[in-house]
Amino acid sequence: MSTPAPVHYLSTLAFPDRWLDELRARHPRLEVTQIRAGAPEEIPGEVWRRTEILHTGSVFPRAAADVPRLEWIQLDTSGADHLKGTSVWDLPVPLTTIGGISPVPMAEYVMMMILGLAHRLPRAVQVQSAGVWPSLGERWNTLMPRRLRGATVGIVGYGRIGKEIGRLAGQFGMTVLGLKRERGTRAGEFFGEAAQEAEAELYTPDELHAFLARCDYLVLTCPLTEETRGMIDAEAVARLKEGAMVVNVSRGGILDEEALRAGLRSGRVAGAALDVFDAEPLPAGHPWWDEPGVLLTPHVAGFAPDYEEQTLELVSANVGRHLAGQDLLNLVDRARGY
């Protein structure tokens, strides 16, 4: 009986040797190569030519002719919007993401920010920075928390992350609204356990304005697609419930930042927590750094403390499926854009 041919796997990432060794041990057919690269020209041509499985975040072949044996790309990102309009998007190979690794820490991040905004954390940070104990009147007027129990959180993108946010919000007695493309469940197989369903009232994008009018807290977790780009524009901000607060952990392009800033300065929007921006890295001196009422973090909401272990489980599962000719987990639907 002949020995099956090796399958060539290339990582452009920075996994430790123990991670790579474990992948080899689980799949003896894999010939594993890792080249920590920041650009495609850092990968030798002969490596590109033999690569069948590419595991990468942002390093891709320049052209299909460079990777004649490529069969599948495993992305090290939870989204694929950064590939739309590139030659990689048009390669005739499946794309898969690491979706399912970050829902729990991202949901915890969102609840941290909702709690921080409700308990006036931006103002509290200002007080600490000033180093002056405010009067009782100042504390009463500027540091009085908002009630969470009975408040309404509206989650745009009610998938795995959105459902986990909804579950946690429900524990605080919040009313949960979910907005998703379809009220049904998207077909397909995904990595990780499905979040427990919170009791949520579902809306579709054509009902956006009615949805926004009910939100005390608006949370954005949806992928960036042609349909969601600019979804929260000036009109949408104007439709928000008076005094709403906004948390964005999706992509900068979904939210009109100037419209949000205008809403904050007019008082219609009471506060915001932003982890993603139109311009990343956010330039020094950008208005967001000093905007009153805003909690800002540098695109870290999706960081997962068990990233390496969970990524190994996902990649190993997908390698097994690939070798067996089965459907892959977290397959990107190019028609939908995610």
- Catalytic, out of 27, 229, 299, 334: 299
Catalytic, 167? Answer: no
Residue 334 zone, left/alpha/beta (φ > 0; ψ -120 to 50; rest): alpha
Distances, alpha carbon 101 to alpha carbons 7, 309, 310, 315, 336, in Å: 25, 10, 6, 11, 21
Out of 235, 258, 280, 309, pick the active-site residue: 280
**Contacts within 8 Å (CB) and 24+ apart, 327-330:** 327/189, 328/72, 328/94, 328/96, 328/189, 329/96, 329/100, 329/189, 329/190, 329/191, 330/96, 330/97, 330/98, 330/99, 330/100, 330/189, 330/190, 330/191
Distance between CA atoms of residues 321 and 7, nearest Å: 13
Asked about 239 being catalytic, the answer comes back as: no
Is 280 marked active-site? yes
Residue 98: both structure tokens together: 């690491």
Catalytic residue among 251, 257, 291, 322: 251
Asked if residues 211 and 236 have their Cβ atoms less than 8 Å apart, the reply is: no
State the amino acid at position 311 in one-letter form.
T
Token pair of 60, please?
């891709």
Catalytically active residues are: 251, 280, 299
